[in-house]
Structure 1
């Protein structure tokens, strides 16, 4: 019996190549749809060589601390076999051992490091959008409370009588990647027994969306998250939880107009139970440049719910875009100091310093954040700071690291490719076609246009880059400070249209700020620079 080396990170299994670092399975260079719990199961079995692995060992190694039975293991093995194209009656990769467990048909062969291929350029085919789209523009913190639609599980669903469903809700409520995968497995188990159970459909829909939007998972090419939510809505059009799940699925695909309407509908259906939907709507209002409306919705949500763990950062970002920089920075700094395990705060605070042109302080904060739980956008920020110092090789390494941490996200991979050296014109055109297809499919994120800006600048086409920038601003892009500070846009600095674009953003923000200052809903203590209003 042979065992793969503990140091090996890539294996050959018959005609498959399994990359543990990238969580990727390929056959003849074509990736297979093996992700999440299925990949964890495969990785665990690979580590056992060709020995028989009992049900108990599988449950302990893959599902623990979740409490599952043999039926759950059997169902997950079935899904893994389907993804690999394996046949349980004539197994090629994984065989069952009756009454005991499972066994790999052969031990995997470790591939030497020399055989490891470099990170491939991003595919030219249309991609599913990400929730965290344009790192340097701080879309991450704007999108953080969209995640609340997932994390506030107890807010959305009535207490279940099914033990497996209760445990699924429990793991969903905790959050984090591994718990999300445990929740998915348990929801799948419930739906295997009761395919039409609406609360399980809603829970699984949200978990599948979270896998892509929050945990860097592979895209959902079949739109299963959306289909599950629509199935629940078909049985009850007033099911606010299902409407919210559909909005979240649309949000993860970049369809922000449909997502915003869905979040608002969910909140209207259940104003007391769907505060997370209101916070998610506030996020998208800010994305669309409706900063005053976004702040009002954010403050309403904050007054009604304290469990939305990302709302403080979202409000800070809202204030930052409105020009209340000192107040926003104080909120970011507090979160950075008090919550070192919050990956969103770990990116937001150094980025706020970067946007103020305080580059040395931003780098010091990045260095500290890199010793904490990581988010890929931290490396994107590190890459931009390196470019400002003229350290192109260090910038390229940082962008590459971001792409490795989020292999299914287009933006880090795009930056890694652009800064790796000469751009292949065919790749560039393919990538542009892919992004434009996403826009045609309903992607209305302003930052999507900024990806086009970077690609056009890589080809030296300033006019086309400015066209895309103006389209981003027309779609709601409101971060004037980013336009002024990002090294990615420095080639446009001498262009009159670039200066005009910055001025256009400034005028829009000034109008939104005036609305805020005149609003009767503005709390007197929200803006420390302002005196409290007289009663």
Structure 2
């Protein structure tokens, strides 16, 4: 590993500073700083590439070694490495023809030209003064999926090092203060290093990208290592854990850690609006929608013009099927912050639910213009196709995204769902397999659900195809049917358990309705379908076209339920028109 090592005697983390020419690479802070104290901002791959060259200096690093260390989980070619070297040189103001920093050795690899001075720093892996902050820091199970230089554990700096780091990282602190959350206490007017770390973390959190979110977690944790009573940092930590679960497939354990961090923030500062907003987001990830609404309302009681709390309320109301309320709150948020890309996406999603697809597309376009790489906006674009029954376009959209970003399981899920609606059941099964081994149990559960529903549809349409699918095993059709029945029963029990644990998500009730439908248990299917509609499920076209409800589609009770669903959707449309 190139960013820190572990002492064999104490287990403490050892970080390094590499000084060469006018640059200093600090693996503890994850920064590259020039002598003029200006930070050179590097993308993650460029940072990792430079770290490998620093560690090996003055030696030559072969192309094979660089590919192995910089892209350990991805197969890439020499051209990708060349392009990354080019980008790194551009960031360093280096010239390939007359290099100052990076020299290419034909047929052998690359090396750093300047002399590299290496100093180390030992950082304890545990601090007795910060139990919750250390406990809430979860390392990835495989040790590879998260950027290594974000893996800070604590900061026990001497006064001199504090001053150096403060200057090096935050020479532009005036800019950071200008971006401080509108709800921050006035006591932050003269921030210390703990607050500077918090501000830096807040900036990374609001970029809504996986690597930036992980960096935010480390910065919030580092701020708490300096000041265990900084409620804002606990709130930020809670938000980052929730965002990891909601958007980036983080482990389910992060759900509880988000709640714990929010509780800690409230305990430290009961008047902190961000803390209640964070608690609401953490509740949402647990499926506790009404509790999430109440927590965000409490945040607005503490700070009336809090646009993030408004956006969250609007998003949750949409999931509850209360679309007129959803639009009211999101419009309030956008009035306060017109260029907030996430609010734009939430408005588009509510317009999709209202079946106002042209306006929804306008807001998706706006969100993507503000943040072209937004995972949330790109996923919502796929939903825009799905809700119109444009399954071929949805499939093409999700396929391209899953190729460009193979680790983003939201896009794989969207691809499998599109294939299911298109009747490509075997493809849906194969695509769903990519979700089954996810570290996030929620994603794995959705993968199992899609695979089970696709297998049921495949079995119904053509038993021979199901037999062919498992022909490489030693089983027979009856054994496969038995295994499939067991899988369906296990899934049914898991979703029922979610409801018993307090989930009031319509999606969970709908999943049970679909599972009972493919098991030909119509009474149970209707029970949970009615519950899903009462909890706010309004996507009539998606439901009527779903292959899992073939056994219900021609039943008069199903027709009556669809009429009820349409009446509720019509009521929401009218309420929305009246408030415009």
Q: Indicate conservation of the 8 Å contact 2:385/2:394, yes or no.
A: yes
Residue 436 (str. 1) matches residue 402 (str. 2): no
Instruction: State the shift of 1:195 in Å.
Output: 2.4
Instruction: State the shift of 1:396 in Å.
Output: 0.9
From 135, 157, 161, the counterpart of 2:192: 161
Corresponding residue number in structure 2 for 1:228: 261
Q: Deviations over 1:16-53 (max 9, x none)?
A: xxxxxxxxxxxxxxxxxxxxxxxxx899879xxxxx99
Q: Indicate conservation of the 8 Å contact 1:386/1:392, yes or no.
A: yes
**CA distance, structure 2, for counterparts of residue 389 and residue 169 of structure 1:** 42
**CA distance, structure 1, for counterparts of residue 382 and residue 558 of structure 2:** 26
* 3-state SS of 2:265 partner: helix
Corresponding residue number in structure 2 for 1:204: 237
Residue 415 (str. 1) matches residue 415 (str. 2): no
* 3-state SS of 1:75 partner: coil
Instruction: State the shift of 1:278 in Å.
Output: 0.6
**CA distance, structure 1, for counterparts of residue 549 and residue 181 of structure 2:** 44
Q: Deviations over 1:176-195 (max 9, x none)?
A: 22222222223223323432
Residue 74 (str. 1) matches residue 124 (str. 2): yes
* 3-state SS of 1:174 partner: coil
Instruction: State the shift of 1:358 in Å.
Output: 2.6
**CA distance, structure 2, for counterparts of residue 173 and residue 319 of structure 1:** 24
**CA distance, structure 1, for counterparts of residue 256 and residue 296 of structure 2:** 19
**CA distance, structure 2, for counterparts of residue 352 and residue 513 of structure 1:** 18
From 341, 359, 369, the counterpart of 2:401: 369
Instruction: State the shift of 1:352 in Å.
Output: 1.9
Corresponding residue number in structure 2 for 1:284: 316
**CA distance, structure 2, for counterparts of residue 516 and residue 222 of structure 1:** 33
Instruction: State the shift of 1:359 in Å.
Output: 2.9
Q: Deviations over 1:347-369 (max 9, x none)?
A: 22233223222333333333443
Q: Indicate conservation of the 8 Å contact 1:384/1:487, yes or no.
A: no
**CA distance, structure 2, for counterparts of residue 349 and residue 431 of structure 1:** 29
Corresponding residue number in structure 2 for 1:64: 30
From 396, 399, 408, the counterpart of 2:432: 399
Q: For 1:127-138, list aligned pairs within 5 A.
A: none
Corresponding residue number in structure 2 for 1:516: 576
Q: Indicate conservation of the 8 Å contact 2:280/2:296, yes or no.
A: yes
| Range 446-455 or range 416-425, more displaced | 416-425
Corresponding residue number in structure 2 for 1:254: 287
Instruction: State the shift of 1:307 in Å.
Output: 4.3
Corresponding residue number in structure 2 for 1:470: 530
Instruction: State the shift of 1:501 in Å.
Output: 1.8
Instruction: State the shift of 1:510 in Å.
Output: 0.8
Q: For 1:274-313, list aligned pairs within 5 A.
A: 274-313=306-345
From 309, 312, 326, the counterpart of 2:358: 326
Q: Deviations over 1:279-331 (max 9, x none)?
A: 10011111112111111111111111134212222212212222323322444
Instruction: State the shift of 1:467 in Å.
Output: 1.5
Corresponding residue number in structure 2 for 1:480: 540
Distance 1:275 1:516, change over 3 A: same
**CA distance, structure 2, for counterparts of residue 260 and residue 83 of structure 1:** 27
Corresponding residue number in structure 2 for 1:132: none
TM norm structure 1: 0.67
Q: Indicate conservation of the 8 Å contact 1:377/1:402, yes or no.
A: no
Instruction: Report the RMSD for the aligned CA atoms in angstroms.
Output: 3.6
Number of corresponding residues: 406
Distance 1:257 1:214, change over 3 A: same
Instruction: State the shift of 1:448 in Å.
Output: 0.9
* 3-state SS of 2:304 partner: coil
> Runs of 5+ in structure 1 lacking a partner?
1-40, 47-51, 85-151, 523-535
